Amino acid sequence: MSLFTKPNIRKGQTLTCKYPKHGRRNILKRHSGVVEAMGCTHNGVYATIRSENGQVRSLSLEKMIDLSVG
């Protein structure tokens, strides 16, 4: 995936990516789940995902590494 191309992410798709721990560290954590919502703020585009154990996270698309949508 190029820096300038983002995949089409829609509600209901499964998303898997690596994301910086606490949103800013140099330690990456793998997140995966079903996309519940997409949004746009002054900080950029984000996706809200719900993992299998019920945990909900809002992740910035710009910080996602090795993003795969299925």
Q: Is the pLDDT score of 4 beyond 60?
A: no
Predicted TM-score (pTM) above 0.85: no
DSSP string, 15-63: EEEEEEGGGTSS-EEEEEEEEEEEEEETTEEEEEEE-TTS-EEEEEGGG
Tell me: the pLDDT tens digits for 15-53? 999 999 987 889 999 999 999 999 998 988 999 999 999
In the predicted model, is pLDDT for residue 3 greater than 50? no
